[in-house]
A and B are shown apart, each in its own frame.
Chain A
């Protein structure tokens, strides 16, 4: 139980950071295109980001485990992505993170990019660990 709560907490932190990063990039692009230097948030937007991140962390607890492998794992990742995409879209609509279809498309693209980036980064870190462990094993391995 504690492990799952820790996972939800960590995922909430990571996802809310990712959403803030995405919104930051969105505003940067808007500044570069229009020159607009200010933007305002409704009072509830920061809280809605944290709440959205918390909801998005629940599918991770349900679907991402280390028991599944192969096709079952790929299927779980697809379901996980769909859940996250749906959750962010729902929160974006409910809390007015966008006002036009173009605004929603930007959010949709960001979800895909951030999700893909997260997996690429995770894979890169795992490969890095693999190389470090194999190098360390070379030094202590028994001769057979």
Chain B
């Protein structure tokens, strides 16, 4: 696709026009990214017994972490839990650079980590902004450091 960039003087003048023969997933993702500064994915709201509920679009910036349990993928926001048909590795490809895999079954949003604490066995405990704690496996600590440039 041909992309033309035009410089404007004020933020109010900023805008984008996308000319597309067909509104496919790529175009929708681009629109989401421009409108919401994040991608949006289709998820199902889950009740306490984790049965499928209402299907909604969820901005990736709201995601705290995602978890794979028994080949099912769950997405956690500040207070809610959602299910998705995507496998964890597929979700990993969809999510942006703010996310990183902290163990075999978990992907966490780095921007939602309040702090990390190292343990004697080499792993780290990440405390999220909502108070939840996740384990960062020893093998993945290097990835976190690389992502953060430390």
Q: Which residues of A contact B (CB under 8 A)?
A: 3, 64-66, 68-69, 73, 77, 119, 122-123, 126-127, 129-130, 132-137, 140-142, 144
Contacts and interface: CB of A to CB of B under 8 A. Distances in A.
Contact of A136 (B120, B122, B129, B148): B148
Contact of B149 (A66, A122, A126, A136): A136
Contacts of A133: 116, 124, 144-145, 148, 150
B119 interface: yes
B101 interface: no
Given A133-B116, A142-B129, A68 B121 contact: yes
Contacts of A126: 118-119, 122
Contacts of A73: 120-121
B124 A130 contact: yes
Interface in B25-83: 61, 78
B110 interface: yes
Task: Give 4 nearest A-B pairs by CB, closest first.
Answer: A126-B118, A136-B148, A66-B138, A132-B150
Interface in B90-146: 98, 110-124, 129-130, 137-139, 141, 144-145
B116 A134 contact: yes
Given A129-B145, A142-B129, A144-B129, A134 B121 contact: no
Contacts of A64: 121
User: Which secondary structure dominates chain B's binding surface?
Assistant: mixed
26 contacts: A65-B121, A66-B121, A66-B123, A66-B137, A73-B120, A73-B121, A77-B120, A122-B122, A123-B118, A126-B118, A129-B145, A129-B150, A130-B117, A130-B118, A132-B150, A133-B124, A133-B145, A133-B148, A134-B115, A135-B150, A137-B113, A137-B116, A140-B98, A141-B111, A144-B129, A144-B130
A141 B111 CA distance: 4
Nearest to B103: A66
A137 B148 contact: yes
Given A66-B122, A133-B124, A140-B110, 8 more contacts: A127-B118, A133-B144, A133-B150, A137-B114, A137-B148, A140-B111, A140-B148, A141-B112
Contacts of A119: 120
A65 B119 CA distance: 12
A8 B82 CA distance: 42
